[in-house]
């Protein structure tokens, strides 16, 4: 079979990571080691590593506290046969994170979680990815390393630190542009789109629970270059 020149498995996996808002979490039952699957909401940190908000009262959390090894499956959640859509299986270990950015990024994607995120039995967890397995259609099944699906943040410290201000500015002053990005460049439905995340490789646009990834034409490491790239993309969207 000839290689698919138009298919980039790394980009496909990254897109699934950034757009997923829920996934299937597989843990090992404490004591017996039997497999246990559950449905969880998902976000990502700036690098793309999955973030979870879990209660200690949940079976999957009790399993994790006994054995931190997990598997997380994310899929496109598109209409039609789900087996015809892309999905990525992530393997690794999860641990509690106290990083304020994890809380902020998770709640930007799941605002309704604000009401219980502060409860004593809840905590944010970050998945340390060891490997990934991508299934994106016939002939598009690829094993990937963690470095293939995560975004390297070295050199982009200024952009990461400014993310909160960037999102506030975009959503307050450029909501119409967000809508143009989503509708004209990404084929999303018309509506009140907002920016839920920014990293060196793209923006996450969201309306309710639907998220779309807007990739940048080139890597961006600081707010100054970001403005130029966003203007370039806005001009492209208006031209359509």
Q: Is the pLDDT of residue 90 over 60?
A: yes
The predicted structure's pLDDT at residue 5: 66
CA distance 19 to 79: 16
Q: Is the pLDDT of residue 52 over 60?
A: yes
Q: Is the pLDDT of residue 89 over 80?
A: yes
- Sign of the C-alpha dihedral computed for residues 220, 19, 108 and 119 taken in this order: negative
Q: Is the pLDDT of residue 71 over 60?
A: yes
Residue 230 near residue 217 (C-beta atoms within 8 A):
no
Domains of the chain: 9-149 (2.30.110.10), 157-239 (3.20.180.10)
Beta bridge partners of 26: 37, 71
How many Cα atoms sit within 13 Å of 228 on the Cβ side?
8
Residue 28 to residues 41, 53, 68, 129, 133, Cα–Cα distance (Å) = 19, 18, 9, 17, 19
For residue 84, give the nearest of 121, 29, 137 by alpha carbon. 137
Residue 9 to residues 12, 73, 142, 217, Cα–Cα distance (Å) = 5, 16, 7, 18
At CA 11, angle to CA 36 and CA 205, rounded to 5? Answer: 80
Q: Is the pLDDT of residue 127 over 60?
A: yes
The predicted structure's pLDDT at residue 226: 97
152-194 pLDDT, tens per residue?
999 999 999 999 999 999 999 999 999 999 999 999 999 999 9
Q: Is the pLDDT of residue 2 over 60?
A: no
Lowest mean pLDDT among 76-80, 131-135, 155-159: 76-80
Backbone dihedral angles phi then psi of residue 140, each to the nearest 5 degrees: -120, 60
Q: Is the pLDDT of residue 147 over 50?
A: yes
The predicted structure's pLDDT at residue 157: 97
The predicted structure's pLDDT at residue 4: 66
For residue 152, give the nearest of 1, 10, 3 by alpha carbon. 10
DSSP alpha helices (H): ranges in the chain?
9-19, 59-66, 100-109, 114-117, 146-149, 157-161, 163-173, 175-180, 223-239
């Amino acid at each position: 079979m000839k290689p698919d020149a138009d298919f980039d498995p790394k980009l496909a996996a990254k897109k699934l990571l950034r757009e997923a808002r829920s996934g299937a979490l597989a843990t090992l039952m404490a004591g017996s080691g039997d497999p246990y699957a559950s449905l969880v909401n998902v976000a990502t940190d700036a690098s793309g590593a999955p973030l979870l908000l879990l209660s200690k009262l949940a079976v999957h959390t009790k399993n994790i506290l006994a054995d931190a090894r997990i598997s997380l499956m994310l899929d496109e959640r598109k209409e039609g046969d789900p087996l015809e859509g892309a999905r990525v299986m992530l393997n690794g270990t999860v641990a509690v994170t106290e990083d304020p950015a994890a809380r902020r990024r998770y709640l930007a994607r799941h605002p309704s979680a604000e009401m219980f995120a502060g409860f004593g039995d809840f905590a944010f967890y970050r998945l340390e990815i060891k490997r990934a397995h991508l299934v994106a259609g016939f002939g598009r099944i690829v094993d990937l390393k963690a470095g293939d699906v995560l975004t390297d943040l070295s050199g982009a410290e200024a952009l990461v630190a400014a993310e909160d201000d960037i999102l506030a500015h975009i959503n307050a002053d450029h909501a119409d542009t967000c809508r143009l990005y989503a509708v004209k460049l990404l084929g999303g439905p018309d509506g009140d789109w907002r920016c839920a995340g920014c990293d060196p490789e793209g923006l996450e646009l969201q309306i309710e629970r639907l998220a779309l990834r807007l990739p940048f034409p080139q890597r961006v490491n600081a707010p100054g270059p970001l403005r130029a790239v966003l203007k370039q993309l806005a001009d492209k969207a208006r031209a359509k």
